[in-house]
A and B are shown apart, each in its own frame.
Chain A
Amino acid sequence: MRRALPILAVLMVLLAAIAVVNPFFLEPAGFLAFLKRAAPLVILAAGQYFVIVSGEFDLSVGSLVTAEVVIAARLIDGDESATAPVLALLIVVGLLVGLVNGVVTTKLRVPSFIVTLGMLLVLSGAVFLWTGGAPRGALSQGFRMFGRGGLGLLPWSVLILLAVGAVAIWLMRADFGKTLIATGDNVRAAALSGVRVDRAKIFAFMFSGLAAAVAAILLGGFAGVSAQAGQGLEFSAITAVVLGGVVLGGGRGSVLAAMAGAFTLEALFTLLNLYGISGALEFTVQGVIIIAAVAAGAIRLPRKFTPRRGDAHAAS
């Protein structure tokens, strides 16, 4: 929790700034709308956190989200009765992609940057090869419900987000979390002390794949079929995690902070929009803030734990 404090403070400031311009934000409906919009990115950030804290990268989540939405549309094809089996299939596909990423990374010793870059190309190519270039079919109302509907005032996506967040925090408190952090902190030391590092990393990738599947269900539900549902989400997710103070290279940072980082990013987008900063310059502001945030986080750390060079070297 202590690790998440700085980012939570930043988040509070941003939320307050939004509320000043847009009082509706303080009403339950306004705030829930913000949570609902942030949910997919926060879930992706939680998944990406597992991978990053174990010392790896997952660049494939964006195209996995797109692929899942396109697969869902084609298989459901407007048929309500197909909703449940397709939802189950999407989860399986997400886990499977994570499994492949993890196995190739650990067993074939290919850097995860390359493995997931390759997966990005394969997924985006394969899914459109299968559908002939553009999405076909349609999502059912049952499928759309998760991203669009709600339980009374409470959107389903917020409930799902709460559940995912709780599970992620619980996982990191359990033995798995300790194993994962030890793996990311120093893979050799962890291996020597009996940690099954490969297995930990494979699980981390599978969680990331699972998170992408859930995010795809929410995004597809929210906005419908689109060939670019997941565009750029991999970079947003990694940025969010890093913004939360999680160190690229693994071993440090909390999942709560990573999710708070995603909220902060989303709040930042909302704020820039509200203050009417010209569409394009928004990116410039975003770039400066990301660098500044990470720099601010890095400078407080002792030198030997600098993010650019992490565990294996520092430990030796």
Chain B
Amino acid sequence: MPRHKAAVAAVAALVLAGCATDKPAATTHPAAPAASAQGSGTGAQSKFFVQADFDAQLAMRSQTPQGPTDKPWEQVIAPKMVDTAKYKKDGPYHLCFSNAAVNNPWRQVGWKTMRAEAGLHKEIEKFTVLDAEGKDDKQISDIAELQAKDCDALIVSPNTTATLTPAVTAACGKVPVIVFDRGVQTDCPVTFIKPIGGYAFGADAAEFLVEKVPAGGKVLALRILPGVDVLETRWSAAKVVFDRSRLQVVGVEFTDGDAAKTKSIVSDYIQRHGKIDGVWMDSGATAVAAIEAFEDAGVPVPPINGEDQQDFLQKWKDAGLTAVAPTYPTYQWRTPLIAALKILKGEEVPKMWNLPQPEVTSENLSTYLKPNMPPLHYALCGCEDLPGFPEAWGGKKS
């Protein structure tokens, strides 16, 4: 039975090789406080709502960011700097990036911007990127795989907050980690980069409607889908604003981010209520479809918010709308690389890198509207000075 013995020996060797576990240490999940308020048709408050974060973000809107004004992606609001001397090493560097997905135009624009930024820095010798294709499980494996690639720093854009926390925690022990866009429930990353955030976005849009829509007016709120933290914060902030106002929220509907569905929903509401006096949206991707529903029904377009996508800005200008576009700037994709290089050079970085989050208003609309860019391009890409612009972003040289 030599074969059998060999098999036993092999198994024994495997066992001796060690029952290793790649599982990271425990992490604490902060309990989300449940805040509820009786509203004017806005429903119960989201369980994602955190009052302290809401207050902090709304306060940040009026603070002046530090750093070069012509490079908002290098600016920071109210920084608390951390020392990074222990990560200091000589270049050239190998940077790694675990990307959640490139499955929507926002991530596409951001990803192209990041790639171009990487090209700017000669000290980045290698930039290894794994795309998790929107799958939590794949991103967990990706992060584990990247740790074995001798990365000098690891950038993570998490697919979901709670489920990626263990994987990020594990990586923190081995390389300096930079998290951006969505956060994780641990403070082990060296820095967490994000624009001011979803509360500010939602509040900006809702405050605009409160100002422009006469008291008692009917507002329709359109959301993409429930349960996504970055979107829940936008709505929960808007809810707070609407609850304080004298506006009547006649409906909160989910559009799945589908233009046809958005247009149908808005048409139904116009039909049912005769008149809609304002539209609030948690993202601008289907704003144009909502506007067209009013046009096709032959009624004036009420005050509405969108986002910094070109098709919306173009429509805004052409139709002379009463509109506003809060943003969640794609230029934040440049910052992680800048942060990584700072950390590796031992320069201090903010623990929370809060980027400014400008608003497109009728006053500054013309500076953001770029007719040669594709309809789903985001104006706040901060990519105009990067090599390959505008062709790499799908635009045309004018």
Stretch at the interface among B85-93, B251-259, B338-346: B251-259
Q: Which of B83-118 contact A (CB under 8 A)?
A: 102, 104-105, 108-109, 111-112
Is there an interface contact between B267 and A228, defined as CB atoms closer than 8 Å? Answer: no
B261 to A: closest C-beta gap in Å: 8
Q: Which of A202-232 contact B (CB under 8 A)?
A: 219, 222-229, 231
A258 to B324, CA, bound (A): 45
A223 to B111, CA, bound (A): 26
A148 to B111, CA, bound (A): 34
Q: Which of A1-35 contact B (CB under 8 A)?
A: 22, 24, 30, 33
Q: In the complex, what residues of B have CB within 8 A of residue A134's CB?
A: 104-105, 108-109, 374, 376, 394
Stretch at the interface among B136-144, B240-248, B288-296, B358-366: B288-296
Is there an interface contact between A279 and B272, defined as CB atoms closer than 8 Å? Answer: no
| Interface status of A37 (Cβ within 8 A of chain B) | yes
A148 to B289, CA, bound (A): 11
Q: In the complex, what residues of B have CB within 8 A of residue A137's CB?
A: 374-375
Is there an interface contact between A231 and B258, defined as CB atoms closer than 8 Å? Answer: yes
A132 to B173, CA, bound (A): 36
Q: In the complex, what residues of A have CB within 8 A of residue B104's CB?
A: 134, 227
Is there an interface contact between B260 and A229, defined as CB atoms closer than 8 Å? Answer: yes
A267 to B: closest C-beta gap in Å: 13
Query: Considering only CB atoms, which chain B residue lies closest to A279 in the complex?
Result: B254
Is there an interface contact between A224 and B292, defined as CB atoms closer than 8 Å? Answer: yes
| Interface status of A287 (Cβ within 8 A of chain B) | no
Contact with A along B384-396 (1 / 0, CB 8 A): 0000000000100
Is there an interface contact between A223 and B374, defined as CB atoms closer than 8 Å? Answer: no
| Interface status of B264 (Cβ within 8 A of chain A) | yes
Interface centre among A22, A73, A136 (most CB of B within 10 A): A136
Number of A-B contacts (CB under 8 A): 76
Interface centre among B105, B254, B288, B376 (most CB of A within 10 A): B376
Is there an interface contact between A37 and B264, defined as CB atoms closer than 8 Å? Answer: yes
| Interface status of A138 (Cβ within 8 A of chain B) | yes
B269 to A: closest C-beta gap in Å: 11
Is there an interface contact between B374 and A229, defined as CB atoms closer than 8 Å? Answer: no
A161 to B: closest C-beta gap in Å: 15
Contact with A along B258-291 (1 / 0, CB 8 A): 1110111001100110000000000000101100
A213 to B253, CA, bound (A): 30
Q: Which of A259-289 contact B (CB under 8 A)?
A: 273, 279
Is there an interface contact between A133 and B102, defined as CB atoms closer than 8 Å? Answer: yes
| Interface status of B308 (Cβ within 8 A of chain A) | no
With beta carbons under 8 angstroms apart, the residue of B226, B259, B271, B374 that contacts A226 is B259
A134 to B102, CA, bound (A): 9
Q: In the complex, what residues of B have CB within 8 A of residue A253's CB?
A: none
Is there an interface contact between A136 and B289, defined as CB atoms closer than 8 Å? Answer: no
State the 10 A-B residue pairs at the shortest beta-carbon distance, nearest first.
A136-B374, A223-B259, A136-B394, A134-B105, A223-B260, A133-B108, A134-B108, A226-B259, A223-B289, A223-B263
Q: Residues of B with Cβ closer than 8 Å to A?
A: 102, 104-105, 108-109, 111-112, 226, 253-254, 256-260, 262-264, 267-268, 271-272, 286, 288-289, 292, 296, 311, 374-376, 394
19 A-B pairs in the complex with CB atoms less than 8 angstroms apart:
A24-B272, A33-B267, A73-B375, A131-B394, A133-B102, A134-B105, A134-B108, A136-B374, A136-B376, A138-B311, A138-B374, A148-B296, A223-B260, A223-B292, A224-B375, A225-B375, A227-B104, A228-B256, A229-B259
